[in-house]
């Protein structure tokens, strides 16, 4: 049950939440029984509320405290672990291995052979070449890995000279009424930056900066996530309802409202599939499939989640270990005999598949953060904690209080402090402490 990853789909997630504990490995079920469903759901929802309020330590360490656990690896439910991991990634910029999750699908041996035989070309160049021949580009992400959001900014920058001017983002807070949605997006465009109320996942400073810099490029933001709460009790049907609702909203708010514009749509992993894929116990049509049919436009669909180092949907083999050597220094698209190769859960369902280089750290921070226009900066000495763990946050001085940090790092007393990655701008600091 790991396809439901936005706040708008929380009702859908909770509808089938009980399945997780019963499907956990036997060694984990005892702990899951001790942590009953009510406790797990309460901790899950509380963590979401804390993250929305910008209380990152309460949303992560506090989640463990509420479950009376000392380590995240003890969390018995995959969805609850993913919530913890999502918040942690906002402070570390790195995904976490989910020990509560098993194998989601098996990779056919023929795909593994093709992946080994594949060649690679620079991803941005190939995306730009193909984006010239459509007016809709759909790029997905792994919700638990902020790196994809930095790459999304690279894509947005590269597409802007081609005339792409509308940016629809799944994670923007859903609104049922189209008029109210337009008003909120106009307000967001005027603000030019995200706030905690902007939507789910924008508590990640990288995501917030992707939006900030895209707005500065002149993109018109569009929200399209469903606001439905009356999902079917059947997870497969419920997922299909959500996909259709998203496509319908995109038709009204982008294709029809901006009839001559070129559109970049940024989505969670599965929504980019142009053909039904095997999730929720059956084959489900996804948003891109519905949108293609409704609009008559063949979108350029790009997956950067399936070949990530820690994919949300886990294959039975490490696809990244095979693909990563083909992208030693920059993000690449895979080809086989001159044609795009796609493998894994979205094989044959998207046009391109991107593999990113292995992460390199500089002063404890991923070097890919530099693509956001950042330079390493040491944490000011006066902000280092004497005891415990402290979250050191950097905000743009020009922003108000109701905003998202431009960067933040976890610092533990007595250990080397990761450096901040900051833009060339005036900065104000804040801290959150855990004893």
Q: What is the DSSP string of 273-319?
A: -SS-EEETTEEE--HHHHHHHHH----EEEESSTTSSS-SS-BSS-H
Global confidence as pTM: 0.92
Distance (Å, whole) CA 199 – CA 213: 17
Buried b (16+ CB within 10 A) or exposed e, 278-316: ebbeeebbbbbbbbbeebeeebbbbbbbbbbbebbbbbe
Distance (Å, whole) CA 305 – CA 296: 26
Four-point Cα dihedral 282, 286, 290, 296, nearest 10: -120
pLDDT score of 228: 86
For 85, the token pair is 């991991």
76 phi and psi, to 5 degrees?
A: -85, -10
pLDDT score of 280: 64
263 and 255 Cβ atoms separated by less than 8 Å:
yes
Ramachandran area for residue 19 (φ above 0: left; ψ -120 to 50: alpha; else beta): alpha
Q: What domains are defined for the chain?
A: 7-92 (no CATH), 109-355 (3.40.50.11550), 375-434 (no CATH)
pLDDT score of 68: 95
Tally of CB atoms within 10 A around 180: 10
Question: What Rg do the C-alpha atoms of the chain give, in angstroms?
Answer: 21
48 and 35 Cβ atoms separated by less than 8 Å:
no
DSSP-H helix ranges across 324-368: none
Q: Which helix (H) or strand (E) holds 248?
A: helix 235-250
212 and 192 Cβ atoms separated by less than 8 Å:
yes
pLDDT score of 35: 79
pLDDT in tens, the chain (435 residues): 343 344 444 444 544 443 333 333 443 443 545 678 999 999 999 999 999 999 999 999 999 999 999 999 999 999 999 999 999 999 999 999 888 888 989 999 999 999 999 999 999 999 999 999 999 999 999 999 999 999 999 999 999 999 999 999 999 999 999 999 999 999 999 999 999 999 989 999 999 999 999 999 999 999 999 888 899 999 999 999 999 999 999 999 999 999 999 999 999 989 999 999 987 667 899 999 999 999 999 999 999 999 999 888 899 999 999 999 999 999 999 999 999 999 999 999 999 999 999 999 999 999 999 999 999 999 999 999 999 999 999 999 999 889 999 999 999 999 999 999 999 999 999 999 996
Distance (Å, whole) CA 205 – CA 222: 20
pLDDT score of 34: 63
pLDDT score of 27: 39
Q: Return the axis-axis angle of helices 56-66 and 78-92, rounded to nearest 10°.
A: 150
């Amino acid at each position: 049950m790991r396809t439901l990853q936005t706040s708008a789909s929380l009702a859908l997630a909770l509808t089938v939440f009980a399945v997780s504990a019963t499907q956990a490995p036997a060694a984990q079920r005892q702990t899951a029984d001790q942590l009953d469903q009510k406790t797990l759901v309460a901790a899950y929802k509380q963590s979401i509320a804390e993250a929305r309020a910008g209380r990152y330590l309460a949303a992560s360490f506090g989640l463990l405290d509420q479950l009376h656990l000392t380590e995240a690896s003890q969390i018995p439910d995959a969805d609850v672990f993913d919530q913890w991991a999502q918040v942690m990634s906002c402070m570390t910029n790195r995904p976490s291995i989910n020990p509560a999750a098993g194998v989601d699908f098996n990779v056919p041996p023929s795909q593994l052979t093709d992946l080994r035989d594949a060649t690679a070309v620079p991803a941005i160049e190939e995306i730009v070449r193909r984006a010239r021949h459509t007016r809709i580009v759909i790029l997905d992400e792994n919700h638990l890995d902020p790196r994809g959001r930095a790459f999304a900014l690279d894509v947005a920058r590269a597409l802007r000279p081609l005339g792409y001017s509308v940016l629809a983002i799944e994670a923007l807070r859903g609104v049922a009424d189209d008029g109210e949605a337009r008003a909120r997006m106009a307000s967001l465009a005027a603000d030019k930056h995200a706030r905690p109320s902007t939507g789910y996942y924008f508590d990640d400073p990288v995501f917030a900066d992707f939006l900030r810099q895209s707005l500065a490029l002149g993109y018109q933001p569009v929200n399209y996530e469903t606001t439905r709460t009356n999902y079917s009790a059947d997870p497969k049907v419920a997922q299909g309802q959500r996909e259709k609702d998203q496509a319908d909203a995109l038709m009204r708010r982008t294709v029809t409202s901006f009839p001559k514009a070129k559109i970049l749509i940024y989505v969670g992993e599965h929504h980019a599939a142009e053909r039904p894929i095997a999730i929720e116990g059956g084959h489900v049509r996804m948003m891109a499939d519905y949108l293609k049919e409704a609009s008559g436009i063949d979108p350029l669909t790009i997956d950067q989640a399936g070949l990530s180092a820690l994919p949300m949907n886990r294959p039975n083999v490490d696809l990244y270990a095979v693909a990563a050597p083909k992208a030693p220094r920059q993000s690449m698209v895979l080809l086989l005999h001159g044609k795009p190769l796609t493998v894994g859960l979205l094989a044959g369902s998207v046009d391109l598949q991107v593999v990113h280089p292995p992460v390199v750290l500089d002063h404890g921070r991923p070097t890919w953060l530099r693509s956001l226009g950042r330079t390493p900066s040491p944490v000011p000495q006066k902000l280092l904690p004497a005891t415990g763990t402290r979250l050191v946050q950097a905000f743009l001085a020009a922003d108000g209080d109701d905003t998202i940090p431009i960067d933040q790092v976890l610092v533990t007393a007595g250990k080397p402090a990761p450096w901040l990655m900051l833009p060339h701008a005036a900065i104000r600091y804040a801290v959150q402490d855990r004893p």
